[in-house]
Amino acid sequence: MSEERSVFSKIVSGEIPATLLADTERVIAFPDIAPQAPVHILIVPKTEEYHNVVELAAGDPDLLAEVIAVAKSLAEEHTGGEFRLVFNTGASAGQTVFHVHAHLLGGALAEGTLAGA
């Protein structure tokens, strides 16, 4: 039985439209559809290979570094360089899409706000 492709894989392939804020050879970024902060951007590797940040760090640390570099660049543009970067790992930690991705959160954050997905 084959696993269904994630919503992020469908965005990467263009099957689902998204407003791209960054698009490199290996990473895309777009606004979260359910923002939990004034700025809430998802940074997503184009590969489906890694389900979470632990797998990504072990399998391709250069790609993880690119995700962080893209986040930094977007934060400079959208939040004056101040931001939180959140990776949820596992369903009980709030991960709902099992295609590794980072949440860039910025602006006036409510205390205790956590990013889902």
Catalytic residues: 101
Reported residue count of the chain is: 117
d(CA 75, CA 55): 25
d(CA 2, CA 87): 26
> Residue 45 class from Cβ within 10 Å (0-12 exposed, 13-18 middle, 19+ buried)?
buried
What φ, ψ does residue 111 adopt, rounded to 5°? -60, 135
Q: Which residue has the tokens 């959208």?
A: 78
